[in-house]
Chain A
Amino acid sequence: MTTLRAWLADPNPTSRRQARLGQLWLAWVRIRRNRLAMAGLVIVGLLLVVAIFAPLLAPHNPLTQDLSRRLLPPGTPGNLLGTDDFGRDILSRIIYGSRITLYIIALVAVTAPVLGLLIGTVAGYFGGWIDAVLMRVTDIFLAFPRLILALALVAVLGPGIENAVLAIALTAWPPYARVARAETLTVRSSDYIAAIRLQGASAPRIIAGHVVPMCLPSVIIRVTLDMAGVILIAAGLGFLGLGVLPPAPEWGLMISSGRKFLFEQWWVATMPGLAIFLVSLGFNLLGDGLRDVLDPRSASR
């Protein structure tokens, strides 16, 4: 173990692989020193574990209705977090709901920022009419209220989780494009871009290898900050019957169904709300830590 650690922490690595693994190790050491980032990592890790082992962890079937046990308060034996208006166990529904939430988050996180990065860096790098066209398209998407645009898309494509994700991704990319373009504009006139251009590098190589790494930290921060909003928009679509359809245990859907009893049976809406809050917090903390780790300049300190 100590020899492995010494090998990883060797300041003068002898091969590319050792250098790369050493960088990963350093990143891990740095993120471990950052307590808040570790808290975020623990929360996100917990979400993953809960989602994977949902059938083992959930005390009840999330879809089984029992009208004799409806709207029981938290702490009732057998229903730790209470039951909803159909007598379904809220804890089990939150546990199973983590799967849907994770699925939506994962799909949005791999589509919207990638699309935004691509459009933003291409617009910023080439400038001229390409920039003008791409940025006006971005403006048009930005000018639409997000939920309305998502609604229109889902209305055309039909309800369902994939279509909801597509609609969210299509409405979420413009801010990433803006951020990426702004970063690209500061980077593209720098000497290291001029140098690599002089080496004969093609535009795709420069954008992917040299411009994107400089834009990534700010985009990652935005992604993690947007995660809470993504969960809520998915919930909004579900509420309007255009996203995840009932009786699926989706957190947002659970909140909207608990709305009716908010004053008398507060837990029906509050428990999934707490779950969303916790997961959003986890992503925000993790994102903050990742930004520090992604910047090798902070490594020496």
Chain B
Amino acid sequence: MSLIEIENLSVVFRAKGRDVRAVENVSLSIDAQESYGLVGESGSGKSTILRAICGMAPVSGGMIRIAGQPVPTPRGRAFSTQVQMVFQDPYASLHPRHTIDRTLAEPLAIHGLGDRDSRVVQALTDVGLPPAFRFRYPHQLSGGQRQRVAIARALMLKPKILLLDEPTSALDASVQAEVLNLLNRLRAELGLTFLMVSHDLAVIDHMCDRIMVLQHGRQVEELTRDDLAAARMTTPYARSLFDASADRMLDSPTEPAR
């Protein structure tokens, strides 16, 4: 059975009497421990799908099921222990007035979990940060370090599903690879399921087993990693996306020789 099932999801924003259809009739299903990518240019609705899952965007039509159960509205505490999200911009996703310790301990406090000290230290170690960083403020960390903290925060409640909203697009290239490798390691160690958004096929290719190409809020094509590697796209839009980042994918270390 699929862990995440999305059936005919539509998201419509109402702004000044005009309807904006951000997502239309998108269906997908993701197995447990799979890594699934959503690709498309900006405005294609890929981030909106993640936000709809989290209840941050209105579900106007269709159905979202996690582990066979329809998601409740509002999402509630049980949902937060199942699904967590890593945001795009690590400079905006950490509270500027809270220490790393407080940021990481807060989810434990919300859910009444004890043993906070050791859990926070463990979480920092898991994402490759020294425990000495614990009482620092976000502004004292680099972008990559902040994104590690954001990942640690998302994992505090031991969720099974991690939604990744372009987790590396705000980072420079070398740090980007480190964070992606960290995510891959954590997925293998903790048995996580990823739903990842990116406009960069090279990143998706490095991370994902299957991808869906989106355009203007509609699904265009679903591809496996092998399809991507062999450039077996059937639609011209997916082909043009692939061509735009093909040269960088050849440099990618995980790419088999072609």
Contacts and interface: CB of A to CB of B under 8 A. Distances in A.
A195 B153 CA distance: 9
Interface in A210-225: 210, 213-214
A19 B135 contact: yes
Interface string A175-211: 0000000000000001110111111111001000110
A297 B54 CA distance: 30
Interface in B14-72: 54, 56
A2 interface: no
Contacts of B75: 198
B87 A12 contact: no
Interface residues of A, number: 27
Interface range for B: 35 or more
Contacts of B157: 199
B74 to A, nearest CB: 9
A195 B87 contact: yes
B128 interface: no
Contact of A194 (B76, B77, B87, B101): B87
Nearest to A297: B139
Contact of B139 (A200, A202, A296): A296
Nearest to B76: A200
Given A13-B135, A19-B99, A199-B157, 6 more contacts: A192-B92, A192-B94, A195-B153, A198-B85, A199-B80, A299-B137
Interface of B: 54, 56, 75-77, 79-81, 83-85, 87-89, 92-99, 101, 106-107, 110-111, 132, 134-135, 137, 139-140, 150, 153, 156-157
23 contacts: A12-B132, A13-B135, A16-B101, A16-B135, A19-B101, A22-B135, A190-B92, A191-B87, A191-B88, A191-B89, A192-B94, A192-B96, A194-B85, A195-B87, A195-B153, A199-B84, A199-B106, A201-B106, A210-B95, A213-B95, A213-B97, A296-B97, A296-B139
Q: Which 10 A-B pairs have the closest CB atoms?
A: A19-B135, A200-B80, A12-B132, A191-B93, A200-B77, A199-B107, A191-B87, A192-B95, A213-B97, A191-B92
